[in-house]
Amino acid sequence: MNNIRNFCIIAHIDHGKSTLADRMLEITKTVEQRKMKEQLLDTMDLERERGITIKLQPVRMIYQSSKNTGYILNLIDTPGHVDFQYEVSRSLAAAEGAVLLVDASKGVQAQTVANLYQAIEQNLEIIPVVNKIDLPNAEIEKTKKEIVHLLGCKKEEILEASGKTGEGVPEILEAITRKISPPKGDAKKPLRALIFDSKYDSYKGVLAYARIMDGELKGEDKIFTMATKEKSSVIEVGCFFPELKKTRMLSAGEIGYIATGFKSVEDCRVGDTITLEASRGQIAPLPGYKEIKPVVYASFYPKEGDDYNFMRDALGKLKLNDAAFAFEPEANLALGRGFRCGFLGLLHMEIIQERLKREFEIDPVITTPSVVYEVETKGRREKLQIFSPLEMPDPSVIESIEEPYVKLDIISPSKYLGLIMELMNDTRAEYKNTEYLDAERMILTFESPLTDVIIDLHDRLKSASSGFASMNYEFIGYRPNNLLKLDILVAGEKIDAFSRIVPQEKAFSEGKAMVEKLKESIPRQNFQVAIQAAIGGKIIARETIKAFRKDVTAKLYGGDVTRKRKLLEKQKKGKKKMSQIGRVEIPSSSFLAVLRK
- Can you give the pLDDT at residue 322? 72
What is the C-alpha separation between 140 and 130, in angstroms, rounded? Answer: 7
- Can you give the pLDDT at residue 34? 53
Q: Is the dihedral of CA 250, 251, 255, 260 positive or negative?
A: positive
Q: Is the dihedral of CA 104, 106, 108, 111 positive or negative?
A: negative
Query: What are the Cα distances from residue 386, in Å, to 326, 342, 402, 404, 451?
Result: 16, 13, 10, 12, 14
Side chain identity, residue 584: V
- Can you give the pLDDT at residue 447? 93
What is the C-alpha separation between 50 and 356, in angstroms, rounded? Answer: 16
3-state class percentages of the chain: helix first, strand second, coil last, to nearest 5: 30, 35, 35
If we measure between CA atoms, which residue out of 440, 411, 435, 470 comes closest to residue 141? 440
10 Å CB burial of residue 449 (0-12, 13-18, 19+) is: buried
- Can you give the pLDDT at residue 334? 65
Query: What are the Cα distances from residue 30, in Å, to 21, 131, 264?
Result: 11, 22, 31
- Can you give the pLDDT at residue 445? 92
Q: What is the pLDDT along the chain (597 residues), one digit of tens a residue?
A: 678 888 888 887 777 777 888 888 888 877 665 555 554 544 455 555 555 666 667 888 888 877 778 888 888 877 766 677 777 777 788 888 888 888 888 888 777 777 788 788 888 888 888 888 888 888 888 888 888 888 888 888 888 888 788 888 888 888 888 888 888 877 788 888 888 887 777 788 888 888 888 888 887 888 888 887 888 888 888 888 877 888 888 888 888 888 888 877 777 777 788 888 887 777 887 777 666 778 888 888 887 778 888 888 888 878 766 767 888 898 876 677 889 888 887 778 888 888 888 888 888 877 777 788 899 888 888 888 888 787 888 888 888 899 999 899 888 888 889 999 999 998 889 999 998 877 777 889 999 998 888 777 877 887 888 777 878 788 888 999 888 888 888 888 887 777 888 888 888 988 998 888 888 888 887 777 888 999 888 899 998 888 777 777 777 777 788 888 888 888 788 777 766 666 676 766 666 666 555
- Can you give the pLDDT at residue 42? 46
Question: pLDDT (tens digit, 9 = 90+) per residue, 506-515?
Answer: 889 889 988 8
User: Across 414-492, where does the E strand assignment appear?
Assistant: 430-436, 441-449, 470-481, 483-490
- Can you give the pLDDT at residue 1? 67
- Can you give the pLDDT at residue 533? 92
Question: pLDDT (tens digit, 9 = 90+) per residue, 418-468?
Answer: 999 999 998 889 999 998 877 777 889 999 998 888 777 877 887 888 777
Based on its alpha-carbon atoms, the radius of gyration of the chain, rounded to whole angstroms, reads 29
CB neighbourhood size of 333 (10 A): 10
Query: What are the Cα distances from residue 135, in Å, to 109, 112, 285, 440?
Result: 18, 20, 46, 20
Q: Is the peptide bond before 182 cis (omega within 30 degrees of 0)?
A: no
β-strands 483-490, 70-77 pairing: unpaired
- Which residues, in sequence order, are bridge partners of residue 222? 233
Which are the contacts of 559, defined by CB distance < 8 A and separation ≥ 6?
none
